[in-house]
């Protein structure tokens, strides 16, 4: 971790308000901590309040400011209520990171309606709900960053992940469309496509499968959560003012 910390790009987000969905673990947790370390006030969103609090505690221990908002990210009323409370307290939203996501992997002939609907709802509907609410706030302020976490599975497909790949491909199309809609109001919308990243999700694949994965990746290793967080940090910075509608792939050359 020390090597990653030393390598991290330097961005000052002091005074900015950020919201991160799926902030209770993995990439989302890393993004929230990174934005907090850069000076942003971070609202951490997921269903699991206990794990969200762990993320918030890390941010505050590092001298940052964080709040926990447990929320069902696919519930329209819950999301709107969350935004109402957030704006009442903080008045504006500068950065939204849509990271919440799940997998329900199985081959298409065995995939149930529930496995399809759960993944599309959590991974894609949540992006729509949060982006719609955020866009209204950001357009009035004439500034904002929406950063959507997609996946290489949305670019190249992956056997056993028809639902996941469809949801992540949908995020890419959504990102490019909304970027065109909001650009005139100085709101940027971009997507990041991580490849195989070392998280609890990939750990569950087991050593043998991970060894095969690394053989497929030209860089011969998994990515780190911090590398994804650095990309988010850059897109959230003033250096990325003219970048919108783009899909940034971080996969060690897998889709090159």
181 within domain boundaries: yes
pLDDT of residue 6: 53
Q: Is the pLDDT of residue 137 over 70?
A: yes
Identify whether 7 is part of a domain. Answer: no
Total domains present in the chain: 1
Alpha-carbon distance values, 230 to 3, 14, 30, 224 (Å):
13, 17, 9, 10
Expressed as residue numbers, the domain containing 208 is 13-250
Active site residues: 164
The mean predicted confidence, pLDDT, of the chain is 94
Residue 233 included in any domain: yes
Contacts of 38 (CB under 8 A, 6+ apart): 11, 12, 13, 233, 236
pLDDT at residue 8, rounded to an integer: 67
The residue among 205 and 19 whose pLDDT is bigger is 19
Does residue 200 lie in a domain region? yes
Tens-digit pLDDT profile for residues 207-238: 888 888 899 999 999 999 999 999 999 999 99
Residue among 174, 152, 153, 173 at smallest CA distance from 163: 153
- The predicted-structure confidence for 241-255, as pLDDT tens digits, reads as follows 999 999 999 999 999
- Global pTM reads 0.94
pLDDT reading at 1 higher than 60: no
pLDDT at 83 over 90: yes
């Amino acid at each position: 971790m020390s090597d990653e910390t030393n390598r991290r790009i330097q961005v000052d987000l002091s005074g900015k308000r950020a919201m991160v969905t799926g902030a209770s673990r993995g990439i989302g947790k890393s993004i929230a901590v990174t934005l907090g370390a850069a000076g942003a006030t971070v609202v951490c969103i997921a269903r699991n309040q206990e794990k969200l609090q762990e993320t918030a505690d890390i941010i505050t221990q590092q001298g940052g400011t964080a709040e926990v908002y447990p929320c069902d990210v696919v519930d329209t009323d819950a999301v709107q209520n969350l935004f109402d409370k957030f704006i009442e307290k903080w008045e504006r939203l500068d950065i939204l990171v849509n990271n919440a996501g799940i997998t329900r992997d199985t081959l298409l002939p065995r995939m149930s309606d529930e496995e399809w609907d759960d993944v599309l709802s959590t991974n894609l509907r949540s992006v729509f709900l949060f982006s719609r609410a955020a866009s209204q706030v950001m357009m009035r302020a004439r500034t904002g960053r929406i950063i959507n976490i997609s996946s290489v599975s949305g670019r190249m497909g992956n056997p056993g992940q028809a639902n996941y790949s469809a949801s992540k491909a949908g995020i890419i199309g959504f990102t490019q469309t909304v970027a065109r809609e909001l650009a005139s109001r100085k709101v940027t919308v971009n997507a990041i496509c991580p490849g195989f990243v070392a998280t609890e999700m990939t750990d569950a694949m087991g050593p043998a499968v991970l060894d095969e994965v690394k053989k497929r990746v030209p860089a011969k290793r998994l990515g780190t959560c911090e590398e994804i967080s650095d990309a988010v940090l850059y897109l959230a910075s003033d250096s990325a003012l003219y970048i919108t509608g783009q899909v940034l792939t971080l996969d060690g050359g897998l889709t090159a």
